[in-house]
């Protein structure tokens, strides 16, 4: 904890009724802006979900206007400046930039969590408050949040019917596959297969496990860097619709390195034949994992995918073993 930070924040129990009302106003304003940010982020690709968040933002505006009118009647025109971060223990919202890059389902889940946490906080605060008027005020705010949570469900049903939601979910899945799965799968296949030859050629040529590990690690990291930069540089994703180049490059580079390191790591074992046996077993696990991913996400028949990757891996392994053994 940063020294002095806790002392600079007010306890909720120390707030006056005017400050509680001002805090509710600023919170409703912040939530409305968050929902509008989500809507703007989704408008192009998921228009039905954007309508849901637009409508939720409008609901927040209604709550804010109601709270402002209440403040005007009780305390006048000047609303004290107090926000969530000024109150110790008050619930915090995750940064919009952190959520909006995590996809449609994550935004929907975060919106539901926002309403649930807000209601729960107000109810707990009301239960801990002794002043009758303050307790009533907090109870009213909790009820408003509960209605808003129900309204969010109603708005989702209104703007996002079964067909529209199904279409958007399919679009989100397709984008996930294009941005993460395809580059990652290509990297895993490259790392798992292309590094077989240098690793096993070195293993059988030297029968030195440490040297084999160093060659395998160098080949895996080098291939990962190469694949990552190639994936990111060859397509900016604007015309192809494959998404952010740095995300694709990251997926491809990391999975390439993992694919190669999987059968390089066993050579940290000093005994050559133990390490080699374990490395061969890891190779088969990697190849079957590739076949499963192809079947799961690319809808390739499992037997055909397995035949392709196992045959390719076996040929590369055989080449490495023959070159190293010769």
What tens digit of pLDDT does each residue of 232-244 get?
Answer: 887 766 545 677 7
Domain 6-160 has CATH 3.40.50.970: no
Quick: pLDDT tens for 175-234: 777 788 888 888 888 888 888 888 988 998 899 999 999 999 999 999 999 998 888 887
Query: Is residue 176 helix, strand or coil?
Result: helix
| Residue 11, beta-bridge partner list | 88
Contact predicate 30/93, CB 8 Å: yes
- Position 267 pLDDT exceeds 50: yes
Q: In the chain, where are the structural domains located?
A: 6-160, 167-325
Over pLDDT 70: what percentage of the chain?
A: 79
Asked if 119 and 145 touch (Cβ cutoff 8 Å), the reply is yes
Give the separation between CA 259 and CA 286, rounded to whole angstroms: 7
What distances in angstroms separate CA 201 from CA 3, 158, 256, 268, one per listed residue?
Answer: 58, 63, 19, 17
Closest-CA residue to 82 (of 3, 131, 29): 29
Distance between CA atoms of residues 269 and 162, nearest Å: 55
* 132-159 helix and 104-128 helix, angle to the nearest 10 degrees: 160
User: How far is the C-alpha of 171 from the C-alpha of 200, rounded, in Å?
Assistant: 42
Q: Which residue has the higher pLDDT, 206 or 85?
A: 206
Output the CA–CA distances (angstroms, integers) from residue 252 to 182, 223, 294, in the order listed.
8, 10, 15
d(CA 266, CA 95): 42
Q: What's the mean per-residue pLDDT of the chain?
A: 79
The rounded percent of the chain whose pLDDT value lies above 90 is 16
Q: Determine how β-strand 10-11 pairs with β-strand 87-88.
A: parallel
Q: For residue 254, is pLDDT > 90?
A: yes
> For residues 35 and 43, what is the distance between their CA atoms, to the nearest angstrom?
12
136 or 37, higher pLDDT: 37
Q: CA angle at residue 8 from 6 to 14, to 5 degrees? A: 90
How confident is the model at residue 222, as a pLDDT?
A: 93
pLDDT for 6:
46
pLDDT, greater one: 281 or 156: 281
3-class state of residue 239 by DSSP: coil
- Segment 116-173, tens digit of pLDDT: 777 876 787 677 667 676 677 778 778 877 766 665 555 555 555 555 556 656 666 7
Write down the pTM of the prediction.
0.52
**CB contact set of 193 (below 8 Å; sequence gap of 6+):** 259, 309, 312, 313, 316
Band the pLDDT of 256: cuts 50, 70, 90: very high
Cα angle 128-131-137, degrees, rounded to a multiple of 5: 80
């Amino acid at each position: 904890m940063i020294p002095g930070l806790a002392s600079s924040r007010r306890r909720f129990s120390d707030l006056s009724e005017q400050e509680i009302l001002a805090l509710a106003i600023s919170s409703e304003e912040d939530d409305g802006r968050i929902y509008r940010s989500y809507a703007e982020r989704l408008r192009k690709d998921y228009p039905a979900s954007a309508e849901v968040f637009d409508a939720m933002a409008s609901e927040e505006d209604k709550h804010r206007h109601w709270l402002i009118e209440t403040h005007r009647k009780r305390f006048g025109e000047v609303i004290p400046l107090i926000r969530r971060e000024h109150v110790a223990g008050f619930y915090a919202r995750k940064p919009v930039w952190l959520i909006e890059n995590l996809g449609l389902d994550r935004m929907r889940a975060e919106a539901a969590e926002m309403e649930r946490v807000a209601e729960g906080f107000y109810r707990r605060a009301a239960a801990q408050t002794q002043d009758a008027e303050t307790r009533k005020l907090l109870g009213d705010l909790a009820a408003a949040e509960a209605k808003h949570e129900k309204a969010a469900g109603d708005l989702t049903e209104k703007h996002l019917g079964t067909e529209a939601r199904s279409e958007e979910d399919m679009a989100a899945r397709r984008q996930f596959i294009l941005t993460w799965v395809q580059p990652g799968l290509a990297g895993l296949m490259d790392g798992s297969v292309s590094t077989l030859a240098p690793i096993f050629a070195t293993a059988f040529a030297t029968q030195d496990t440490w040297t084999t590990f160093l060659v395998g690690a160098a080949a895996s990291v080098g291939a990962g860097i190469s694949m990552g930069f190639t994936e990111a540089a060859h397509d900016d994703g604007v015309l192809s619709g494959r998404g952010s180049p740095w995300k694709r490059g990251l997926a491809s580079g990391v999975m390439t390195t993992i694919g190669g390191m999987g059968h390089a790591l066993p050579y940290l074992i000093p005994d050559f034949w133990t390490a080699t046996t374990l490395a061969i077993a890891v190779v088969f696990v990697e190849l079957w994992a590739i076949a499963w991913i192809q079947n799961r996400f690319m809808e390739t028949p499992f037997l055909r995918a397995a035949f392709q990757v196992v045959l390719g891996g076996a040929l590369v392994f055989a080449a490495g073993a023959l070159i190293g053994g010769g």
